[in-house]
C-alpha cells in the first residue's frame, strides 16, 4: 500500500471518529429515553419513547442485557396502550433470548390476565413461580387470575404467599381477606385481617376499606365517601369504592345488592383497574 493511500485512510479514519462517537452518544440517549421513561413521559409522548426503544433494538451490536431491558420496557408501554399483541410479542422475544427469565413470564402472564386469557395467564405465572419461588408479584397476579375465575381457595393461597412477602402492602391484605372469606373461612379471615393491621400504618386510602370489612363503618357510610364528578381521579376512586362495597355485600350474603354495586363499577368505565375486571367476573357469575 502506498504512503499516500495509507495517509488518506488514516485521515478518513480520524475524521470518522467524531461521527462514530456521535452515533454512540445518540444510541445511549435513546437507551436512556427508553429505559427511564416514566408514566408522565409515556403519556406526554408515547410514540417518541417507543421510537427511542425501536432505535435501540434495531442496533445489531446491542448488548444482550440492554436488549432484554429495552424489550421489557417496550412491552410494558404496549401493554399500557392496550396493544396486547405487541406486548406479548416482546415478552415472548425476551423468553426466546432468556428461557429462565421469570420476569418475562410474569409480564406476559399479566398481559394475558388483562386481556382475559386466564389459562395462558396462569400457565405463564406458574412458570414464573417455578423459576423464582420467591416472586411475590407472580403470586399476586396468579391470585387475581384465580379470583377472576372464582377459585377462591387457590386465590387465597396465592394472596397469602404474596402478602407474607410484603406485609406492608394493604391491597394484598385486602385481597387475601376477600378470597379467604369467600372460600368459606370467614373467622380465620377476620383474625388475619386484625393481625395484619399491626403491620400497617394507614391514614388514608385504603384505610376506609379496612374499616368497612372490620364492621367499623356501615356500607352506607362507606358509599357516602364516593366522590362526585366525571374526572379520572373521581371515577377511579368510585370504581374502588363500589367494588369493595360489592364484595362486602357478597360476604354479608346479599348478592342482589352486590350485583347492583358491581354494575356501578362498570359504569365508571375504569377498565384498567383490577377492581373493574373483578367486578365484571363477579357480575357474570351472579347473573348466570
Residue 73, in any domain of the structure: yes
In tens digits, the chain (288 residues) has pLDDT values of 555 444 443 334 434 444 334 444 556 788 888 988 888 888 888 999 899 898 989 988 888 888 899 999 999 999 989 999 999 999 999 999 899 999 999 999 999 999 999 999 999 999 999 999 999 999 999 999 999 999 999 999 999 999 999 999 999 999 999 999 999 999 999 999 999 988 888 888 999 999 999 999 999 999 999 999 999 999 999 999 999 999 999 999 999 999 999 999 999 999 999 999 999 999 999 998
Residue 54, in any domain of the structure: yes
Give the integer Cα–Cα distance in Å for 210 and 200. 11
Residue 74, in any domain of the structure: yes
Pick the last residue of a domain from 30, 61, 82.
82
Residue 141, in any domain of the structure: no
Residue 107, in any domain of the structure: no
Give the integer Cα–Cα distance in Å for 49 and 51. 5
The total number of structural domains in the chain stands at 2
For residue 242, the enclosing domain spans: 202-288
Residue 104, in any domain of the structure: no
Residue 110, in any domain of the structure: no
Q: What is the pLDDT of residue 26?
A: 57
Amino acid at each position: 500500500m502506498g504512503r499516500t493511500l495509507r495517509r488518506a485512510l488514516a485521515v478518513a479514519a480520524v475524521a470518522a471518529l467524531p461521527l462514530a462517537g456521535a452515533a454512540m452518544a445518540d444510541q445511549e440517549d435513546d437507551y436512556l429515553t427508553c429505559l427511564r421513561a416514566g408514566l408522565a413521559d409515556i403519556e406526554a409522548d408515547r410514540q417518541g419513547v417507543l421510537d427511542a426503544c425501536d432505535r435501540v433494538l434495531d442496533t445489531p451490536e446491542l448488548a444482550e442485557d440492554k436488549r432484554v431491558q429495552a424489550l421489557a420496557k417496550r412491552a410494558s408501554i404496549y401493554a399500557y396502550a392496550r396493544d396486547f399483541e405487541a406486548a406479548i410479542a416482546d415478552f415472548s422475544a425476551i423468553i426466546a433470548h432468556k428461557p429462565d427469565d421469570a420476569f418475562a413470564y410474569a409480564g406476559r402472564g399479566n398481559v394475558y390476565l388483562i386481556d382475559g386469557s386466564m389459562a395462558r395467564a396462569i400457565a405463564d405465572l406458574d412458570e414464573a413461580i417455578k423459576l423464582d419461588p420467591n416472586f411475590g408479584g407472580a403470586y399476586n397476579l396468579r391470585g387475581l387470575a384465580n379470583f377472576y375465575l372464582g377459585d377462591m381457595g387457590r386465590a387465597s393461597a396465592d394472596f397469602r404467599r404474596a402478602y407474607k412477602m410484603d406485609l406492608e402492602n394493604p391491597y394484598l391484605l385486602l385481597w387475601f381477606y376477600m378470597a379467604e372469606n369467600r372460600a368459606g373461612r370467614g373467622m380465620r379471615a377476620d383474625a388475619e385481617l386484625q393481625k395484619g393491621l399491626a403491620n400497617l400504618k394507614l391514614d388514608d386510602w385504603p384505610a376506609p376499606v379496612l374499616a368497612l370489612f372490620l364492621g367499623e363503618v356501615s356500607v352506607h357510610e362507606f358509599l357516602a365517601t364516593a366522590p362526585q364528578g366525571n374526572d379520572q381521579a373521581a371515577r377511579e376512586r368510585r370504581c374502588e369504592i363500589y367494588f369493595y362495597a360489592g364484595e362486602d355485600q357478597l360476604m354479608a350474603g346479599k348478592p342482589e345488592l352486590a350485583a347492583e354495586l358491581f354494575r356501578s363499577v362498570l359504569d365508571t368505565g375504569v377498565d384498567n383497574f383490577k377492581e373493574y375486571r373483578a367486578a365484571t367476573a363477579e357480575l357474570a357469575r351472579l347473573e348466570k
